[in-house]
């Protein structure tokens, strides 16, 4: 195999562990914390998880290991979208397993949860693992989005576990995947299978976080990757001085990725969906807000700029959200086939006009035709509009162009406006992990085995104090049920992990809010550059500005 010099160097990197995990497996003991309860709907969650609810949070510290020695056969899966560092979770898990007892076994089930159902696996050994240390991607075993949620699936997984003598299953995933981990743990406990289930918090979107989970892995690397390219675009904009760049960034519904990239690069505009919802901003109001920046900069002779648009922005616009809900109803059941059978866009347009309320059709009618058509692209598995397919960066530049034309006609604007568009998403999901993510992920995997060794199930591997150097990180675990509430899904009440949105009273947003008026008019761009792997710690091991602000490390 031909390897790049960086790939060779990353294989040789030794990830840093929290101090209490550096002392050797035999010198780690458990410190019990307080019992837990779910963030909401406590009675309902407790009733659904009678065997795994209300358990204590725990931390690991130096002391005599009191766990019962036994051979461990552990299965691991990667679930959901890719995130930098996933390989290191598996590497950390493998190293802890083998450090405890060379005869212990780690099986990687391929293609996500479906690998468990189909019994498609590989047994890891040193050679296999060493080829993936500190590298990006999920190609070590692949990933998938199959949900483990039915009685039939649980029975199959139980049989597969029994066949291989599995003592534990580690599920590396986001909020939905760890919800499935909690449900599977409850099933395994209720049926006395002896199989433990441990989760690890993954998502570049940053929405799997709370008072216990300071950051989901991959967020650091992905936002640094996007920020590098946004910084490059800012430098180009300031050089050419003739384009407004509209940059959409991944992040699902929450705006954490957009906010972090704005904190890193200081663009002229960054929309925050959670603020749009709180202020009930219309599409027209958002377009005016951006147009104000364009006009003020043009008055200074700066006919260029950069605007960051979060992927899920349109979900937060009340009038657009209502429109999407009506479209979902309009195409419910067999009506989708009826709509798709119409001969051309004019016929489909009339179908839409007759099916929407006058209020929603008025919103629909101001949209550029390409966005109108994107609202009727392939539906998600639940029959809903796939909001991520909407090119919101092009939508807002088109709306801003119309606003500026109206201002020019009224004699209040005399600048030039030419827009370019970008979407940064997949570029960041499989990057070489930053040193922070390499260390954090390795620690999560190593720590996951400590939870297994001490007999915990339904727990999330937890590493905290992340704004400090790695030797000050604190390792432990928390019951997944602590993060859960009841939400309506597909017409049913379901227990799910509550997604974390941007907090408008939180330090990261407040810092952004305090500076954005200046950034909107001035050219205040900052250029983060590429992720650094070698050099001083303050360059190579720095965390996100979001985490630093949350922990009071920046003012």
Catalytic site residues?
205
CA–CA gap between residue 161 and residue 117 (Å, rounded): 10
The secondary structure of 295-339, three-state, reads: HHHHHCCCCCEEEEEECCHHHHCHHHHHHHHHHHHHCCCCHHHHH
Residue pair 255/370 in contact (Cβ under 8 Å)? The answer is no
Residue 436 dihedral angles phi and psi, to the nearest 5°: -60, -50
H-helix or E-strand spanning residue 401: helix 392-409
Backbone φ, ψ for residue 511 (5° rounding): -65, -45
What ranges in 146-282 are assigned the alpha helix state H? 151-164, 175-190, 219-240, 256-265, 273-278
CA angle 12, 60, 445 (to 5 degrees): 35
Q: How far apart, in whole angstroms, are the C-alpha atoms of residue 167 and residue 104? A: 10
CA distance 360 to 406: 23
Nearest residue to 126 (alpha-carbon basis) of 165, 94, 100: 94
Name the phi and psi angles at 168, rounded to 5.
-160, 155
The total of other beta-carbon atoms located within 10 Å of residue 345's CB is 13
Rounded Cα gap, residues 277 and 255, in angstroms:
12
Per residue in 22-40, is it b (16+ CB within 10 Å) or e — as a string? eeebeebebeeeeebbbbe
Question: How far is it, in rounded angstroms, from Cα 202 to Cα 115?
Answer: 19
Give the N- to C-terminal CA distance of the chain in Å, as an integer: 47
Which structure tokens are listed for 357?
């309320």
Contact indicator for 212, 476 with CB cutoff of 8 Å: no
Contacts of 252 (CB under 8 A, 6+ apart): 205, 207, 311, 312, 388
CA distance 555 to 542: 16
Separation of alpha carbons 100 and 24, rounded Å: 9
At 356 the three-state DSSP class reads coil
Q: Where are the beta strands (DSSP E) in 351-490?
A: 419-424, 459-464, 474-479, 484-489
Strands 459-464 and 196-201: parallel
CA–CA separation, 283 and 37 (whole Å):
40
Give residues with Cβ within 8 angstroms of 309, minimum separation 6: 246, 247, 248, 249, 258, 271, 392, 393, 396
């Amino acid at each position: 195999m031909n390897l790049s010099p960086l790939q060779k160097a990353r294989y040789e990197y030794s990830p840093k562990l929290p101090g209490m995990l550096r002392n050797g497996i035999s010198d780690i003991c458990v410190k019990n914390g307080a019992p837990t309860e779910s963030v909401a709907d406590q009675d309902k969650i407790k009733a659904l998880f009678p065997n795994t609810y209300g358990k204590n949070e725990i931390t690991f510290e130096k002391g005599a290991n009191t766990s019962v020695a036994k051979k461990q056969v552990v299965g691991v899966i990667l679930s959901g979208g890719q995130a930098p560092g996933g390989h290191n979770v598996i590497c950390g898990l493998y190293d802890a397993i083998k450090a405890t007892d060379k005869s212990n076994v780690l099986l990687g089930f391929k293609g996500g949860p479906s690998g468990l159902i189909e019994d498609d696996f590989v047994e890891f050994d040193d050679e296999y693992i060493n080829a993936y240390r500190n590298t990006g991607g999920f190609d070590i075993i692949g990933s998938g989005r199959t949900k483990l949620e039915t009685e039939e699936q649980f029975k199959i997984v139980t049989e597969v576990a029994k066949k291989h003598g599995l003592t534990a299953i580690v599920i590396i995933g986001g909020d939905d995947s760890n919800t499935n981990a909690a449900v599977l743990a409850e099933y395994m406990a209720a049926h006395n299978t002896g199989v433990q289930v441990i989760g690890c918090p993954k998502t570049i979107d940053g929405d799997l976080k709370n008072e216990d989970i300071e950051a989901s892995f991959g967020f650091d690397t992905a936002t640094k990757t996007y920020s590098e390219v946004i910084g490059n675009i800012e430098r180009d904009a300031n050089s050419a001085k003739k384009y407004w760049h509209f940059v959409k960034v991944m992040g699902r519904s929450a705006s954490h990725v957009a906010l972090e990239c704005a904190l890193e690069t200081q663009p002229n505009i960054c929309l925050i969906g959670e603020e749009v919802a709180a202020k009930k901003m219309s599409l027209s109001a958002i377009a005016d807000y951006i147009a104000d920046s364009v006009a003020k900069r043009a008055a200074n002779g700066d006919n260029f700029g950069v605007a960051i648009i979060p992927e899920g922005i349109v979900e937060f616009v009340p009038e657009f959200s209502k429109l999407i809900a009506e479209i979902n109803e309009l195409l419910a059941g067999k009506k989708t086939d009826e709509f798709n059978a119409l001969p051309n866009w004019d016929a489909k347009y009339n179908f839409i006009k007759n099916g929407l309320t006058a209020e929603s059709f008025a919103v629909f009618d101001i949209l550029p035709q390409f966005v109108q058509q994107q609202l009727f692209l392939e539906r998600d598995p639940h029959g809903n509009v796939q909001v991520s397919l909407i090119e919101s960066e092009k939508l807002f530049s088109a709306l801003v162009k119309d606003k500026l034309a109206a201002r020019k006609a009224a004699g209040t604007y005399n600048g030039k406006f030419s827009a370019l568009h970008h979407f940064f998403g997949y570029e960041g999901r499989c990057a070489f992990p930053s040193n922070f993510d390499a260390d954090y992920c390795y620690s999560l995997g190593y720590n996951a085995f400590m939870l297994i060794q001490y007999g915990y199930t339904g727990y999330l591997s937890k590493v905290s104090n992340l704004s400090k150097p790695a030797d000050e990180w604190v390792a432990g675990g928390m019951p997944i049920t602590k993060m859960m509430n009841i939400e309506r899904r597909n017409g049913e009440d379901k227990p799910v992990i509550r997604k974390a949105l941007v907090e408008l009273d939180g330090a990261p947003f407040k810092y952004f809010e305090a500076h954005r008026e200046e950034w909107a008019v001035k050219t205040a761009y900052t250029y983060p550059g590429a992720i650094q792997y070698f050099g001083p710690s303050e360059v190579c091991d720095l965390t996100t500005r979001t985490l630093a602000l949350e922990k009071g490390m920046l003012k």
